Structure 1
Amino acid sequence: MRRTCEGILVCHEHNHPHVLMLQIANAFFKLPGDYLPHDADEIEGFKMRLNERLAPTNPKEGDTEWEIGDCLAQWWRPNHETFLYPFLPAHVSRPKELKKLYLIHLPPNKVLSVPKNMKLLAVPLFELYDNTARYGPQLSAIPHYLSRYRFEFVDEEGNVSSVTPGGGPTLPGPHGLLNLTGVQTMQGDAAAVATPQAEKEQQQQQRQEGSDDVRLENGH
């Protein structure tokens, strides 16, 4: 049976939780992670996959260290089809894949490296919630997984700027959620973490600039 582990990396912007996701070809979204070697320890193999996907080319101290938290969900692939279930059907005795989603505890600052053909997006929970049409059933269920936690939002100086009311365990521990500015992603010479809204504004600006160029050419 194939074993797959993916990480839920949570940060915040404007005191609202965001999940870091990889976007492929401006359409497909996935969490960082991959399938594990058949003989690898689950946690150590998962850390190895995270380093392959997100660690800088020339890592510094701490860049390859990951704090793996709770297992938030398990998804089963009963056969060779693409669809996964959050339960194992009773008639299936030999499933083809088990995918686990782990909470990743981020430090106050973290440098991530992504390939040039991918983008690292910080997607807010309100956009993921009940949005299976865009993100699919696995990713759109992340707000449900995180609803059991109590959030502490930490600013750039390490001070708790806001706390969600209510009881429950604190996410992700004594540091709370780091601000989005505490995360950098390296793509070639650029370093930025985008949000879906910023992506839309950038695409709209590019289309507008392209239409302006056409009008100038026609004017000549």
Structure 2
Amino acid sequence: MYAIVEMAGQQFKVAKDQKVYVHRLQVEEGNKVTFDNVLLLADGSNVTIGAPAIDGAAVEAKVVKHLKGDKVIVFHKKRRKGYSKKNGHRQSLTEIVIESIISKGAKKTETKKAAEPKAKKADGKAAPVEVSVASKPKAKKATGKGDDLKKVEGIGPKIAETLNAAGISTFAELAKTDAAKIAEIIADVRGNHVTDTWPKQAQLAADGKWDELQKWQDELDGGVAK
């Protein structure tokens, strides 16, 4: 028997006793976790497909440990501008073991439950607490049509994604955000990022002054004046 289930924003094909590496879960090592967004169940020739999820189905797993994945090199280069940037990234992961696949009768959870205080056994040691995790919520999107923030000198795909997740998806919104606040939002993005010119660049883009913006960017290197 196997199932296709969404865990931490990704879909996996899992079976009992299988080890799976998912995006970092906010669950302590040794605790159990339940994923209820099951998209497909297969038991021999009997296949059940959800619409989109199967009501009452769930996958139960145990958190083994938290770790980081292999390093990935991210290299950015802009032609004819003398600009290049090389960063490394290691994704935070959680190793889990699938303990059981429930085909029906599982209680559907709408939101992530806060971990309850650990119950104590008779010997005084803390007993594992079972935590139920619903599907990973989508990042909050800013209202209105988003702009390509990568047109601002110094902003790459990862920074643009981080800004979008924080609710900044247009040039106008970026222009209204203080440079120090931007630096705080992208603090977890690896690399040295100077955000001083980003609001002014974004304002030029919001005003449609592309020629003026291009002329200024020719004098910048990674968002910093040469």
TM-score normalised to the size of structure 2?
Answer: 0.29
**Greater radius of gyration (CA):** 2
Q: Name whichever structure is richer in helix by fraction.
A: 1
Greater relative contact order (CA < 8 Å, ≥ 6 in sequence): 1
TM-score normalised to the size of structure 1?
Answer: 0.30
